[in-house]
Structure 1
Amino acid sequence: MSDAATVIPEAEQRAVGKFLRRMLPILVLMLLVNQMDRTNVGFVQNELRADVGVSATAYGLGAGLFFIGYALFEVPSNMLLERFGARVWLTRIMITWGAVIVAMCFIHNVWMFYGLRFLLGVAEAGFFPGVLLYFTQWLPDSSRGRASAIFLGGSATAYIVTGPITGALLELHGAGGVAGWRWMFALEGAFSILVGFIAGFFLVSRIQDAKWLTQEEKDALSEAVARDKEARDRAPSVSRMKLIFHPQVAVLTAVFFAMALTGYAITFWLPSLVEEIGGLSSFQIGLLSAIPWICAVIAMYTMAHFTDRAPDRRPYLAIALVLSATGTFLATLGSPWFGLAALTLAAVGGKCAATLFWPMAQSGLDLKIAAPGLALVNSIGNLGGFVSPTLFGYLKDTTGSTNGGLYTLSAASILAVLGVAFVRHTKRGERPGSAGKAAVTGEPVAGEAR
């Protein structure tokens, strides 16, 4: 029976509504702070060079080391979340990464920068997939899509507010004889710790422990979640090595890797490119750095509205990737103002591509490998977050310009367009291995090249 024909019990609907109203706001706030703390280093590149001696190469490597720590500890972190519960583990993750951010205000050499960026990845590891896992423990398949969409809105918002907030904190330069970048790390890290403690009072790990649900609502929600879990547990397991060499998984990973290259390059290098305009305060740089993301978020939701019912998302994804490639190429031409406009185009293409990629990837994989396959695509593809800033830093130090990095991103996006042509297309409502019946997709896996 299709989801449209499924009658959801009233008690289950009430329970889901209460979860969305009570739990999602704090989870969205946590994600917003998460995104701000992992990318705020992009606004202090010049300050780190002047005060600590961090070269462009060292900055790029340090920015990318975050993703190595994150990738290594993502799976163990999720296993510990299942053991200790979301309330303990998600708040532990946030308080720990806040402490690392505070420690970054004491950086005095490049090795401390490397070590703390790596530790930040270790501390944050498992947060994003951990929240998605939390949704599986609380929500049935039919309600997780809505929850995930609301949650991911926090990521989109973070890109817009990070610049102005970080820029404003950098204006504290000289207060108490302390550099503005040290104030920025100290205050943003302290806020993360505070939100982590607040989350500990709001989050509830188990349905039966929720005091704001009636017993009828607890039972109805528990039964719905248990049914979905039983269906997932019956799915056959597939080894990671087999998944790596699965043709569709390999193609999707390559496409997502190329998308991550562009996404994280813009994230970490946009503020320094804006600074080339000259004569701007830290707050003004932050405001201008938000412009590409404002345009990108508007375009992202507009694109999603017009493509939700499209029979084939691949042409739209190809167009978005071409926009990204065009923007990164044009950014090498003209004045810094023209470069900002070009990077806005690249950000629009990248965000729209991310919106289109995951639904396409979900529908294109066999049901028996969908969950582990998408996790593998997300895990390996996100290593573009290490490669991209590292490559940018090296090319800037060796050539004196970021143009080489922008050319590389443009080429990667064009290659991703070619990869899209090899992604399997299925009719809407069907999945390979679903025997022609509408498939239950489970929770959407959203990439972190956001």
Structure 2
Amino acid sequence: MVNPPAPDPDPAASSELVERAVTKFLRRVMPILVLMLVVNQMDRTNVGFVQDDLKADIGIGSAAYGLGAGLFFIGYALLEVPSNMLMERFGARVWLTRIMISWGAVTLAMCFMSGATSFYVLRFLLGIAEAGFFPGVMYYLTTWLPDSTRGRASALFLGGSATAYIVTGPISGALLEMHGLGGFAGWRWMFALEGAISITVGIVAAFFLVSRIQDARWLTGEEKAALGAAVDRDREARSGEPQVSRLRLVVHPQVALLTGVFFAMALTGYAITFWLPSLVDDIGGLSSFQIGLLTAVPWICAVIAMYTMSRYTDRLPDRRPYLAIVLVLSAIGTFLATLGSPWFGLAAVTLAAVGSKCAANLFWPLAQSTLDLRVTAAGLAVVNSLGNLGGFVSPTLFGYLEETTGSTNGGLYALSAASLLATVGVYFLRRGSGQGGAEAAAPVPARTVSG
């Protein structure tokens, strides 16, 4: 007797299974990813709170500080693409936790710095240790979530970045108040304890991360099948184009445009990050802890704005107009920061921070939907690693300007111009796939990675 063909799966039932599986992922895995990002951002940016201490204790001036802060991004750029390829091989559970434990060890070692040379070396090594973390997580989300839900997940994850800026100030400020305890300077306590926290969180993360859908014990068999099928459909929808080498990704028009836009965003984001404590310190009469509290204000506003905007834009088929708007806000904020008192400057930087963080929240889902999933790991790594070189240019330029001219206004004007140029570049990007539907524009020829 011939068995009748199996009926087609009920689309409504399949959609419900996918939603249940996504909800479980967001509840079980996203919290540890967000915590990892919070610690990641804290460890790469905490140096902004010890600029004056490093100058007083080990003779690191403004130019040397700016160069050291920026060297992080050179190591980051050099190793990010190889790191992301290794994560494809070893899986998120092994590779992301390895990255975190490594950067925690380097952060801890920074408490032993004795001069500019050791500062340069350790900042460079910190970039090498962290390389691949952010694009690794972005790629990890593409292997677990369909296009229609990644905007929500990206908003949660990127919220961790802004949250990190909120907590980094008060935490770092409080640790700096430990100055003299046990005969150690406050900045040494800060690096030692924050590095130890990173190592601990990295070890804990190994028990929460699951590399593949099929390995998730907290999903039922039906949920695994439905979620895997949804992810596969998105992959197939953007597949079938000719192979291209990773080197050609660098000069591919869409990858180059994404890199240029992100470079401008990084210029502004890291200028705010590394020089905001110095701006707040200019207000005068504040303790280290109070400075830390005030530096949290721009990022609190940025988190509120980012989540408010994501609830609206995540359902739209085209995020480009909104990305352009927030880039203009960023340009206005950095320009206004050149005017008025330190308090007015803080308000202007708050506007720039809102624009910068909202831009990041809109940018990464757009980048994910623009690039084929089969080159997402390499493509996102190229965009993030080369774009993040803005994190080298920005603090280096600001440090040089402050030491030679006594002002950073020239750098702020440059940031405004860069944001406006990025606004123009946004409209040359592909529209992307929006919610994972059929509205993707013409396919990008860089589809499969080889060589």
Paired amino acid for 1:381: G
- Alpha-carbon deviation of 1:214? 4.1
CA shift digits 1:397-443 (9 cap, x unpaired): 111222222222122223333434544558975222269xxxxxxxx
- After superposition, the Cα gap between the structure-2 partners of 1:426 and 1:88, relative to the gap in structure 1 and judged at 3 Å, is closer
Deviations 1:273-332 (A, max 9, x none): 111111101111011101111112222233334545667654443432332222222222
Query: Which of the numbers 120, 135, 141 marks the counterpart of 2:126?
Result: 120
Change (3 A) 1:226 1:130: same
1:395 aligned residue (379, 389, 401): 401
Aligned amino acid, residue 156 of structure 1? A
- Write out aligned runs for 1:310-329 (5 A): 313-329=319-335
TM-score if structure 2 supplies the norm length? 0.85
296, 307, 315: which one aligns with 2:302: 296
Q: Which piece of structure 1 moves more, 84-93 or 130-139?
A: 130-139
In the TM superposition, what whole-angstrom CA distance separates every residue of 1:108-165 from its partner, at most 9, and x where no partner exists?
1111111111111111111122223333444444544433332222122112111111
Q: Secondary structure at the match of 1:65?
A: helix
1:70 aligns with 2:79: no
Counterparts of 1:82 and 1:369, CA distance in 2 = 11
Decide whether aligned partners of structure 1 residues 314 and 180 sit closer, same or farther in structure 2, where only a CA change above 3 A counts: same
Report the equivalent of 1:81. Answer: 87
Equivalent position amino acid for 2:441 in 1: P
Partners of 1:367 and 1:431 within 8 A in 2 = no
SS in 1 for 2:179: coil
* Maintained 8 Å contact 1:235/1:368: no
Residue correspondences, number: 431
**Aligned partners of 2:213 and 2:320: how far apart in 1?**
39
Match of 1:337 among 339, 343, 361: 343
Q: How does 1:255-266 map to 2 (within 5 A)?
A: 255-266=261-272
C-alpha separation in 1, matches of 2:147 and 2:305: 28
In the alignment, is residue 430 of structure 1 matched against residue 436 of structure 2?
no
Paired residue for 1:188, among 191, 194, 200? 194
Counterpart CA distance in 1 for 2:329 and 2:32 is 35
Output the CA distance in 1 between the equivalents of 2:410 and 2:432.
38
- Partner SS, residue 159 of structure 1: helix
CA distance in 2, matches of 1:425, 1:9: 25
- Equivalent residues in 2 for 1:29-178, closer than 5 Å: 29-178=35-184
Give CA deviations for 1:178-214 in whole Å, capped at 9, x if unaligned: 1111111111111111111111222233444444344
Secondary structure, counterpart of 1:202 in structure 2: coil
Measured in 2, the distance between the counterparts of 1:426 and 1:31 equals 26
Letter of the structure 1 residue corresponding to residue 40 of structure 2:
N
2:279 alignment counterpart:
273
1:27 is aligned to 2:33: yes
Gaps of 5+ in 2: 1-10, 445-451
Q: Which residue identity is paired with 2:175?
A: L
Question: 8 Å contact 1:324–1:413 — kept in the other structure?
Answer: yes
- Cα 1:356/1:25, change in 2 over 3 Å: closer
Distance 1:10 1:36, change over 3 A: same
The 1:367–1:255 alpha-carbon spacing in structure 2 relative to 1, beyond 3 Å, is same
Q: Percent identity?
A: 76
TM-score (norm 1): 0.85
Checking the alignment, whether the CA contact within 8 Å between 2:169 and 2:291 is kept in structure 1 is: yes
Asked if 1 retains the 8 angstrom alpha-carbon contact of 2:79 and 2:128, the reply is yes
In 2, distance between residues paired with 1:424 and 1:103?
44
Contact 2:84 2:135 in 1 (8 A): yes
Pairs within 5 Å for 1:199-210: 199-210=205-216
Deviation, 1:241, is 4.7
For the residues of structure 2 that align with 1:232 and 1:203, how far apart are their CA atoms? Answer: 27
**Contact 1:238 / 1:369 at 8 angstroms: preserved in 2?**
no
Shift of 1:371: 7.4
* CA displacement 1:29-63 (0-9 Å, x = unmatched): 11111111111111111111111111111111111
1:201 partner SS: coil
**109-118 or 308-317, which deviates more:** 308-317
Q: Name the CA distance, whole Å, in 2 between partners of 1:211 and 1:311.
A: 34
**Contact 1:138/1:207 (8 A) holds in 2:** yes
What amino acid is the match of 2:73?
F
> RMSD across aligned C-alpha pairs, in angstroms?
3.0
Report Cα offsets for 1:333-384 as digits up to 9, x if no partner: 2211111111112112222333344455566679998876555333322211
> Which stretch of structure 1 is more off in the superposition, 194-203 or 222-231?
222-231
Do the aligned partners of residues 325 and 225 (structure 1) sit closer, same or farther apart at CA in structure 2, a change above 3 Å counting?
closer
The answer to which of 312-321 and 331-340 deviates more is 312-321
**Does structure 1 retain, via aligned residues, the 8 Å contact 2:135–2:381?**
no
CA contact (8 A) 2:81 2:381 kept: no
Amino acid at match of 2:291: I
Instruction: State the SS of the aligned residue for 1:54.
Output: coil
Distance 1:404 1:306, change over 3 A: same
User: 1:442 maps to which residue?
Assistant: none
Partner SS state of residue 238, structure 1: strand
Code of the residue aligned with 2:440 in structure 1: it is R
Does the 8 Å CA contact 2:239/2:374 hold for their aligned counterparts? Answer: no
